[in-house]
C-alpha cells in the first residue's frame, strides 16, 4: 500500500495537433511560481539567472504580480535561493501543482485564439512578451505571447482538459491533424 498518490500529468494522454498553419501541444509540467510584491521584471530575471533558471520566463500577472514559468521542475534549493534573494520584498507561491501550460503556435495561432478570447492579439496591441489574464470561452487563463506566432495559455489544472479539448476542436477546424506518436 502506498502512502502518497502517484502524480500523473493531467494532459498526458493528449496528442499534439499539427497542421501547416497551427500547432497545439501540452507543455511539460515544469514550474510555475507566483511572485507578488515590490520588485521588477528585471530584478526577478537577474535572480533567476543567479539560481540557474536561465530558461525560465517572467510574465506580468497584475499590479506587482508575476508568474515565473519554465519546463523544468525546480530543485528545492533553487526555489529557496530565489526566495532568499528576494526576501523582504516579495512573496513566492509555487503554483506548479495547480496550473497547466498549453502552447498554440503557427501563423493561424492568433486567429484560433480570437475565436475564444476578446483580447486584441494584433502584434501592435499585444506584442511579444505581453501577458494578460482573460477568459477563453468560460475558462479563466493567463495568455502570453512568447513569439510573433507563439502563445502560451496557463490554466487551472481542473480546467485543463476542457480547455485542451476546446482548443483541439478549433485546431482541427484550422487543418491540424493528430501527430503520429
Percent of the chain at pLDDT > 90 equals 66
**pLDDT computed for residue 130 by the predictor:** 94
| pLDDT tens track for 100-144 | 999 999 999 999 999 999 999 999 999 999 999 999 999 999 999
Q: Determine how β-strand 139-147 pairs with β-strand 131-136.
A: antiparallel
State CA 134 to chain mean position distance.
13
For the segment 146-154, the average pLDDT, to the nearest whole number, is 97
Asked if 19 and 171 count as a contact pair (C-beta separation under 8 A), the reply is yes
**pLDDT computed for residue 5 by the predictor:** 59
CATH T-level topology, domain 31-94 = Alpha-Beta Plaits (3.30.70)
**pLDDT computed for residue 2 by the predictor:** 61
> Is it true that 17-28+98-178 and 31-94 share their CATH fold?
no
Spatial neighbors of 171 by CB under 8 A, at least 6 apart, are 17, 19, 22, 23, 24, 104, 112
For the segment 154-180, the average pLDDT, to the nearest whole number, is 93
C-alpha atoms less than 13 angstroms from C-alpha of 173 in its C-beta half-sphere: 11
Evaluate if residue 6 carries a pLDDT over 70: no
Which one is predicted more confidently, 4 or 148?
148
Q: Is pTM beyond 0.85 here?
A: yes
| pLDDT tens track for 53-92 | 889 999 988 899 999 999 988 888 888 888 888 888 899 9
Cell of 51: 539560481
Query: Which CATH number does 17-28+98-178 carry?
Result: 3.30.1360.120
**Domain segments of the chain as ranges:** 17-28+98-178, 31-94
Region for residue 106 given its phi and psi (left: phi exceeds 0; alpha: psi -120 to 50; beta: otherwise): left
Amino acid at each position: 500500500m502506498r502512502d502518497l498518490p502517484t502524480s500523473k500529468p493531467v494532459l498526458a494522454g493528449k496528442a499534439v495537433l499539427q497542421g501547416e498553419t497551427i500547432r497545439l501541444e501540452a507543455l511539460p509540467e515544469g514550474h510555475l511560481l507566483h511572485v507578488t510584491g515590490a520588485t521588477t521584471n528585471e530584478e526577478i530575471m537577474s535572480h533567476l539567472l543567479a539560481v540557474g533558471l536561465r530558461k525560465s520566463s517572467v510574465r506580468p500577472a497584475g499590479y506587482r504580480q508575476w508568474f515565473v514559468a519554465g519546463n523544468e521542475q525546480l530543485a528545492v534549493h533553487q526555489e529557496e535561493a530565489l526566495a532568499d534573494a528576494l526576501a523582504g520584498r516579495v512573496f513566492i507561491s509555487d503554483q506548479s501543482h495547480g496550473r497547466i501550460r498549453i502552447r498554440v503556435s503557427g501563423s493561424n495561432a492568433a486567429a484560433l485564439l480570437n475565436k475564444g478570447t476578446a483580447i486584441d492579439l494584433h502584434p501592435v496591441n499585444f506584442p511579444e512578451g505581453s501577458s494578460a489574464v482573460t477568459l477563453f470561452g468560460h475558462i479563466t487563463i493567463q495568455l502570453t505571447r512568447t513569439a510573433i506566432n507563439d502563445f502560451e495559455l496557463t490554466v487551472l489544472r481542473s480546467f485543463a482538459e476542457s480547455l485542451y479539448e476546446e482548443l483541439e476542436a478549433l485546431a482541427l477546424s484550422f487543418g491540424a491533424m493528430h501527430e503520429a506518436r
